[in-house]
Every structure is written in C-alpha cells, then in structure tokens.
Structure 1
C-alpha cells in the first residue's frame, strides 16, 4: 500500500514539529520545511524515521515568494528520490511569526513582513505546489483564535490570519473540482516559543489565559498536532471550507 505524504511548512519546531510527529504516528510520510534551524530539522528527521516513516526536510523562507518556483522543483525531486512518488497528499501551511505591536504603533515594515509571511507566502506557495498535490488531497491553513476574540497588540497579525480564513473558503470552492478539501485550523494560546515564548514563559500571562479557557489551561503543541491529524483522517474528509478552532474554549 502506498503511504500518504504530508508537506508541513515550519516543521522544525513548535506546532509544525508536533504535527509532523502526530502524522508520523498515523503512518504518514513527511516533507517538512525549516528556515534557519537546520540542526533541529535534521534531528526531527531522525525522530520521524524512528517512527518507521520516510522523512525529508527542505529549507524555505516563506517570505520570499520569488523562490517558490525553485522550491517546487526541489519538492518534486525529493518526492522522487526519497519517497518514489511524484505527488503528495496533504499541505499544512503552518510557518509563521508573531509580532506584538498596538495598532497605533505598528510600522509599515512590520505590516509588510506579516503580509509576506502570513498571507502572500502561503497564497503563492500553495499556488506553486498545486500541480504536486494529489487529487482528493487536503490543505490545512493555520489561523489563530485572535480572529474571533481580541487581545490588544495583534491587529496586523490577526488581520492577516483573517484574510487566510477567507482565502480558505475560496480555495475549497475552486479546488473542489479536483476533490481537494481545504480547512483552516485556529489554535488558541499555546505553550511554544512563538512570539518569544510569551505564553509559555510568562506565568502571569499563562495564568490569565488559562483562567479564561473553559478547560482551565493553555494549549500544548500536541493539542494542535492531534487536531490536524484528526482533520486529515479519512473519517474527516467531508469537512470542507470550515474554520475550526482548537483553543480549549477560550473566551467563550
């Protein structure tokens, strides 16, 4: 039986790493991307191979859309050389950064950086990779709970993610002819190094967010990796064009 293959951007750490591990536990082979953390990427490949799946990590700066054509070629070559395949099945647009700045203090440089990484990057990367995605495959875009509830300092970041949520519905409509399902997963507060590790490392913020979450804690990377694995399971194939929040019930 031919195993399915997932391509995960930003897979060397945080939510991307957890997603790779959860999918590997379900027998899905992994192509991951990293920006600068080559050592962490290599370590993840070793971990995934111990889970008895094939894995490869490719360098990608999601902010540089001019490199995407070459990257798609590298993905094609990797599919053939490592996996003996010509296409993959799942694309998870996860790579991103967090910038904390009030609306009144957000600079144009910060805004442009977020556009390139959180919106333009996944828009055109997905476009370039479409010929390599199998019919009946699936795409998951990563958003944020901050598109539903509001915490000061994330106006630009949340605006980009809101755009990704709209884009998800258009992708689902336009790619439906190929049987490709597209959903957007919106995590709540998660203990990672994202945004400087503020949720993980600041006890006061952690306590505040946990106190405003129905399940009484902030999220862990495995909560999101598990949710993505659930959305990519065969049993979830009829879920399409949806925003699904995985926040433990924040600010209900």
Structure 2
C-alpha cells in the first residue's frame, strides 16, 4: 500500500472534472472520480490517470439525489478499506453539475429545483456525509462560477445556487477548522466544454462577447482550471482558507 493522498472529484468523467482528476494525478495523488451515466468516459479517465502511475477508481453517483449518498459513501468506504488499506481520503472536490440558460421570467419551479438539488443541496449534504471520511488536515474545494460575482443574462437560477456555494464554503472553513480541514472556492469563468449544452464552445456570438470582456482576450479552456485544483490540494496552499479564487482570465474587471 502507498501513502499517496487520495482525491475525490465529483463529475470527473468529462470537462473540467476530467482535467482536474488528471492534474491531481500528475501531482502524485491517487484519484476517485464519480460519473452520473457515462461509465465508458469515466473508464477512459481512470486509464489516463493510471498512465501517470497513480491508482484511480470510478464510482457512480447522482449528485442531485441526496437519498443515494449513503449508498455511495458505503461503496467509497469499501474501496478505501479493501483496495487502499485506509479509512479516509484527503481531498473533496465538489465539481459535478449541469448548466441552465433560461431567462428569469421563463425559469420554471422544476428547473429551479434541479439547479438547487445539484448545485446547493447536493453539495451541502454530500460534503456533510463526506466529512467523517475526510482525513484531518484535508481539503474541500467547491466549484462555483464567475456568475456568482457578475450577471450574464439567462443564468439567474444557476448563479444564485453558486452564490450559495460561495457562502457555504466560508462556513465550512470556520466550522471544520478544528480538524485543520480547509475549504475554498474555485470559480471558473466561461469555459469551452459541453457544459450547459456546449454554449461556450459553439455559440460564436457568446464566445466573442466573453473574449471581449476578458482581459486576456479569450474563452477559457478546461486546461486552465485543473492545475489550480492540483495546487489547492498541495502543501503550498496550506494557508489558503475560506477564499474564493476566480479563474477567469480577468473577465468583467
């Protein structure tokens, strides 16, 4: 058995989560990723991580359904004990989520509830259930969004939930400090992934608007984010706590 640190990345089978998982592995961490439905994509990420000489495991999780969390953590506990010889893991990265681009006046209660369940309620209670398995001195990194600082049309429900995540993270930093667990937010700007129907990848009008409003003059790529997560899971970031780090190339400064 190795003494490598172990990171849990929700939604690690594609997009930002995939890049986070790979960068964590490059930094010498073993990784557990979750996927919702696409097991083959998750298996590809596991194979990629193993190329760096790290262990990886993909577990199924519906991060919007709190009722499934007990079963998920039972599976995680079994994996840690039986395959890693440990009872804990070190880093929790709450990344899983979906987007919603609908005007405020047209957003339905069902759409609002979906955003709340995935991005706020899910993060709240998944973290609550994860903390007993999180090692002392561990790290929690919640993925928020630039949309919790600035307003871009048609993102009110999503942005509101991410604002909640920003506040929750400060409470986690304070309430878990006795165990030396830190909690921070990483807030990406617009990133060209399949997220939210792939708007930031394919909507040229939006891409031009984002690039024009960004100091560094382009839309973000997944590769812009993963290394920041790996840094926050390194010893170099030990004194960063309760902070929101926006990684957006300087949009709307």
Tell me if both proteins adopt one fold, taking TM over 0.5 as the criterion.
Answer: yes
CA RMSD of aligned residues (A): 0.8
Report what 1:234 is aligned to. 235
> In the TM superposition, what is the alpha-carbon distance from 1:204 to its structure 2 partner?
2.0
CA contact (8 A) 1:212 1:250 kept: yes
> In the TM superposition, what is the alpha-carbon distance from 1:152 to its structure 2 partner?
0.8
Partner Cα distance (1:15, 1:182) in 2: 19
1:51-90 matches, cutoff 5 A: 51-90=52-91
1:89-104 matches, cutoff 5 A: 89-104=90-105
> In the TM superposition, what is the alpha-carbon distance from 1:244 to its structure 2 partner?
0.7
Report what 1:216 is aligned to. 217
Deviations 1:144-165 (A, max 9, x none): 0011111110011000000010
CA contact (8 A) 1:189 1:218 kept: yes
Partner Cα distance (1:199, 1:129) in 2: 32
1:179-190 matches, cutoff 5 A: 179-190=180-191
Q: How many pairs were matched up? A: 252
Report what 1:5 is aligned to. 6
> In the TM superposition, what is the alpha-carbon distance from 1:222 to its structure 2 partner?
1.1
CA contact (8 A) 1:56 1:82 kept: no
Per mean C-alpha deviation after superposition, the further-off stretch among 103-112 and 206-215 is: 206-215
Report what 1:195 is aligned to. 196
Report what 1:157 is aligned to. 158
Report what 1:123 is aligned to. 124
Report what 2:107 is aligned to. 106
Partner Cα distance (1:152, 1:44) in 2: 34
Report what 1:33 is aligned to. 34
Q: Secondary structure at the match of 2:34?
A: strand
Per mean C-alpha deviation after superposition, the further-off stretch among 225-234 and 24-33 is: 225-234
Q: Secondary structure at the match of 1:91?
A: strand
CA contact (8 A) 1:99 1:154 kept: yes
Q: Secondary structure at the match of 1:250?
A: coil
Report what 2:45 is aligned to. 44
Query: What runs of 5+ residues in structure 2 fail to find an aligned partner?
Result: none
Deviations 1:129-172 (A, max 9, x none): 11110000000001000111111100110000000100000000
Question: What is the TM-score with the length of structure 1 in the denominator?
Answer: 0.98
Partner Cα distance (1:157, 1:82) in 2: 37
Per mean C-alpha deviation after superposition, the further-off stretch among 90-99 and 80-89 is: 80-89
CA contact (8 A) 1:54 1:82 kept: no
Deviations 1:171-198 (A, max 9, x none): 0000000000000110000010001111
Q: Secondary structure at the match of 2:12?
A: coil
> In the TM superposition, what is the alpha-carbon distance from 1:238 to its structure 2 partner?
0.4
> In the TM superposition, what is the alpha-carbon distance from 1:82 to its structure 2 partner?
2.6
Partner Cα distance (2:175, 2:65) in 1: 25
